[in-house]
């Protein structure tokens, strides 16, 4: 299922595994576009404190904030994994947004 979510250019209904080496999988999708994935899903963080510690790591590159009608998702991209925190309280989400490290790139998006 994680291979299916890799492709943004196509639907990836049919795919062929070309090579698996050292935990990475090279996949050829139905339009012939190659994809590389580690075959693992993003990691979900349940505590705000743990998310802030992850966001302060040296390998943290950026944070994406996605606002939905019923929750707010914070996604921090580190070198190996994408870590996700889901918050249902808007006030807590606003406080967390204020307490993110200042040097970190923040991208905001709203639900469609």
Domains in the chain: ranges and CATH: 1-41 (no CATH), 43-110 (3.30.720.90)
- pLDDT for position 14: 52
Higher-scoring residue by pLDDT: 5, 62: 62
> Is the pLDDT confidence value at 111 over 70?
yes
- pLDDT for position 5: 46
d(CA 47, CA 85): 8
The predicted-structure confidence for 19-68, as pLDDT tens digits, reads as follows 555 555 555 555 555 555 555 678 899 999 999 999 999 999 999 999 99
Q: ∠ at Cα 1 (21, 74), nearest 5°?
A: 100
> Is the pLDDT confidence value at 92 over 80?
yes
């Amino acid at each position: 299922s994680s291979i299916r979510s890799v492709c943004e250019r196509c639907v990836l209904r049919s795919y062929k595994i070309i090579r698996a080496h050292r935990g990475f999988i090279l996949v050829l999708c139905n339009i012939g576009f190659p994809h590389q994935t580690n075959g693992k899903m993003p990691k979900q963080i349940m505590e705000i404190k743990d998310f802030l510690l992850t966001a302060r790591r040296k390998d943290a590159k950026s944070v994406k904030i996605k606002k939905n009608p019923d929750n707010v998702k914070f996604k921090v991209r580190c070198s190996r994994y994408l870590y996700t925190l889901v918050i249902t309280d808007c006030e807590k989400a606003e406080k967390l947004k204020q307490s993110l490290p200042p040097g970190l790139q923040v991208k905001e998006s709203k639900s469609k």
